[in-house]
Amino acid sequence: MKILFVGPHPFRGGGVAYYQQALAKAFYSRGNEVFILAPVTQFFGTKDSYIKRAENTDFKYAKVYELINNKLYYFRSPEPILDCESSKEEQLFKEFLKKINPDVIHFHAARPASTIRISKEFGIPVIVSLHDYWFLCNTGFLCRWNNEVCEGPNNGVNCARYCDVHKVPIYGFKEKFRKLLPQNLINVIKYIRDEGLSHFINKQSYVENLLNNYKNKEILQDKEAKPANIEKWNFRINFMREMLNQYADLIIAVSNGSKRIFIQNDIDSQKIKMLHSGFEFADNFFSFTKKKKDFINFAYIGPIWREKGLHILLKAFQKMGKVKGCNLYVYGKISMGNYGHIMKRLIKKMGMPNIIFKGEFNYGDLPSIYEEIDVQIIPPIIPDTSPRTVWEALSSGTPTIASNTGGIPDFIKDGVNGLLFEAGNPDDLAEKIKRIIDEPDLIHKLRQGIKKLKTIEEHADELLKIYESLLNNNMKSMRELMENTCKCSEETEFNLKESEF
């Protein structure tokens, strides 16, 4: 079978990227041919979009291609219409499909979303996995700029009132100067960004608001949202619903919580099915014995984004004061924006020697990191669909304190293999941390409650059965169509030749 993935770049890190890699390997080992097409934004590198092969000598399980464009198709695109349609990328995608001629297309992201419709027009079975909320939410997280969780687009009204990127002051500045910057200044800009010098222009109130779990409904809320803005956001959500409900053969929600949210936002309940993903290291990656010690090591491990809620965790420790017998290690890469740099500075400012900022780590270092960790804390303020860090914690035998939101309760069972707290509530989180400290035997009890996760091989077999079923149904539909349209008894022969690309 010839399988095409459309989604994040598999060589650039991230949970879905690692998932695609693992699936490609599992499919390849079963004799299938796998292609991956990844949209890549290069603002300063190109005016015209094009497709090129991405070489990686260490990865032989799929042929990887990049759809190079100069549009920010991923989170917080400034123009919602571009998320939906773009003629140049659509034409390139059509040419790509003609050349590789896949049997099945599995979307792990669709940029632009019209590629789903194009796939269906080619008569190819289409599966869409919902790894985030991008189809509902331009930010991908269902989280407003003031840290409130959003219930959904509300026909574009919420998007126009709360999250239109044009409301962010820095956007106008960037747009004015972006085209004026010569190529040789890009590295300088990246250096400034990565060193976090931008946080010096940030208002101190931002730090205080995060510490106080501040939620001000007036921030970035346009009570008089322009009808034109509402109209374009309304177009976006209606377009996304059409792509999923009309053109996808199957929609996969990766958790029960995310499935409920999509159904609440009018995604076809008959077409969307819940299927947990498999984890490539479920069997043996973290096979070690935890080191015994006289104190408890807590850890935050993951991206340092505001949506992931590190500020909630720091606030919880601040409320607890100086607690003996425990440490908190913070592992994670500081990405674009001020948040990560502010959190790093905040840890230093708090003056609590038992909170240690460890920073960026290599994925291969996780076993040695987890060997030292007793309890992991996963505090997103958003309804995370299915955080990979949950799988990593459970596969390492590490009990977890986590937000009771999104897909997390599918894996963390309160009092069984971890503890759940109210998302965004530092007081509740502090109580759960104290309970672990006050009841040290609880760690062993929770560790005993951890069950083995689904392997990537088991998951690959599930997906292959789905692909085969859709292919059989597709061939049946094609035969019926031919019988109804061809009034001749002469047998028609289809000769599909494989093409090199």
CATH assignment at residue 379: 3.40.50.2000
Which tens digits make up the pLDDT trace of 25-59? 999 999 999 999 999 887 655 678 999 999 888 89
Same domain, 429 and 473: no
- Bridge partners (DSSP) of residue 53 are 65
Phi first, then psi, for residue 267 (nearest 5°) are: -85, 135
Residue 2 DSSP one-character state: E
Whether 101 shows a pLDDT value over 50: the answer reads: yes
**pLDDT tier, 75 (very low <50, low <70, confident <90, very high otherwise):** low
Whether 94 shows a pLDDT value over 60: the answer reads: yes
Q: Which of 279, 177, 171, 159 is nearest to 221 (CA)?
A: 159
Q: How far apart are CA 152 and CA 261, in angstroms?
A: 8
Residue 479 is predicted with a pLDDT of: 55
Q: What residues contact 438, with CB distance under 8 A and at least 6 apart?
A: none
Q: How far apart are CA 223 and CA 278, in angstroms?
A: 44
How many Cα atoms within 13 Å fall on the side-chain side of residue 154?
11
Same domain, 444 and 471: no
Whether 242 shows a pLDDT value over 70: the answer reads: yes
- Average pLDDT estimate for 478-496: 43
Edge to edge, the sheet with strand 326-331 lists 355-359, 326-331, 296-301, 375-378, 400-403, 418-421
- Average pLDDT estimate for 285-312: 84
Same domain, 471 and 438: no
Same domain, 165 and 89: yes
Residue 500 DSSP one-character state: -
Longest pairwise C-alpha distance within the chain: 85
Whether 487 shows a pLDDT value over 70: the answer reads: no
Residue 195 placed within a domain: no
- Average pLDDT estimate for 96-122: 96
Same domain, 256 and 325: no
Same domain, 142 and 270: yes
Whether 310 shows a pLDDT value over 80: the answer reads: yes
Same domain, 148 and 7: yes
The H or E element that residue 330 is part of is strand 326-331
Same domain, 331 and 237: no
Same domain, 362 and 476: no
Q: How many domains does the chain have?
A: 2
Among 111-125, 158-172, 464-478, the range of highest mean pLDDT = 111-125
Structural domain including 390 reads: 296-448
Phi first, then psi, for residue 293 (nearest 5°) are: -155, 170
Q: How far apart are CA 162 and CA 144, in angstroms?
A: 6
Same domain, 333 and 425: yes
Same domain, 20 and 161: yes
Whether 212 shows a pLDDT value over 80: the answer reads: no
Q: Which of 294-303, 346-355, 464-473 has the lowest mean pLDDT?
A: 346-355
Residue 146 is predicted with a pLDDT of: 75
Q: Which of 88-92, 244-248, 359-363, 441-445 has the lowest mean pLDDT?
A: 359-363
Residue 493 vs residue 262, higher pLDDT: 262
Residue 285 vs residue 349, higher pLDDT: 349
Same domain, 332 and 235: no
Whether 408 shows a pLDDT value over 90: the answer reads: yes
Residue 279 DSSP one-character state: B
- Average pLDDT estimate for 331-359: 86
Residue 174 placed within a domain: no
Which tens digits make up the pLDDT trace of 153-163? 999 999 988 88
- Bridge partners (DSSP) of residue 355 are 328
